[in-house]
Amino acid sequence: MRDVPLILVGFMGCGKSTVGRLLAQRLDWPFVDLDDQIEAAAGRTIREIFESSGEAEFRRQERVALQALLASATQDPHRVIALGGGTFVQPDNFELLQSASVRSLFLDVPFDELYQRCAQMTNRPLFRDAQAFADLYRRRLPFYQQAQYTIAAAAADPEQIVDRIVERIACPQMSLGKR
């Protein structure tokens, strides 16, 4: 199997950025966070985009950033990419990612743990209250579950989650640790 970008998906707070950064270090591949790309292109934080332009405009910018990232990954597939929590569940993005040459990995963390983690952070525009958070999770879970790999990511040291990912995706043809 040839190398393809590794795409981390999952709900807010599941650890996509933390695990993604460590996974990238382990593979010696670059790490790209889609939210950072959106902020850099817009010159505004995600919160500012939501507040001044609304979610629909954020989703438009998110799609543009995703398309650019996937286009550049056709030149060099050695990337670990963390999506935002909503990226994979937008139908257009879902179709694009399911047909792209990538491996998608769902970081599966139980709802209660996600809630505890996100309740302590203030930078998530879609975190409003427990009921809205639960509804969003319930609507999104069926999308995440269609990722190619589901990785149990509850209450574990991020390095252990990286171990699990590497075990699951490792195969002799994949040049782990090399660019």
Binding mask 92-131 for ligand S3P (x = CB under 6 A): --------------------------------xxx-----
Q: Is 161 in the site for ligand S3P (CB under 6 A)?
A: no
Residues 6+ apart with CB under 8 A from 108: 10, 14, 144, 150, 151, 152, 153, 154
Binding residues for ligand S3P, total number by CB under 6 A: 10
Separation of alpha carbons 79 and 31, rounded Å: 6
The smaller minimum CB distance to ligand S3P, of residues 16 and 103, is found at 16
Cα-based torsion angle of the residue sequence 48, 79, 136, 64 in order, rounded to the nearest 10 degrees: 50
Are 19 and 158 in contact, with CB atoms under 8 Å apart?
yes
Residue whose CB is less far from ligand S3P, 29 or 127: 127
Residue 46 binds to ligand S3P (criterion: CB under 6 A): yes
Q: Does 15 bind ligand S3P (CB under 6 A)?
A: no
Position closest to ligand S3P via CB: 84
Q: Which stretch binds ligand S3P (CB under 6 A): 20-28, 80-88, 155-163, 166-174?
A: 80-88
84 binds ligand S3P (CB under 6 A): yes
Query: Please, what is the minimum distance in Å from the beta carbon of residue 70 to ligand S3P?
Result: 17
Selection from 168, 179, 128 nearest residue 3 by Cα = 179
* Helical residues (DSSP H) of 16-100, grouped into ranges: 16-27, 34-42, 46-53, 55-75, 91-99
Cβ-based neighbours of 24, under 8 Å, separated by 6 or more? 30, 31, 79, 80
For residues 113 and 176, which CB has a smaller minimum distance to ligand S3P in the complex?
113
Q: To the nearest whole angstrom, how small is the minimum distance from the Cβ of residue 121 to ligand S3P?
A: 8
Q: How far is the CB of 1 from ligand S3P (least distance, A)?
A: 28
3-state secondary structure of 76: coil
Q: Which residues are at the interface with ligand S3P (CB under 6 A)?
A: 12, 16, 35, 46, 84-86, 124-126
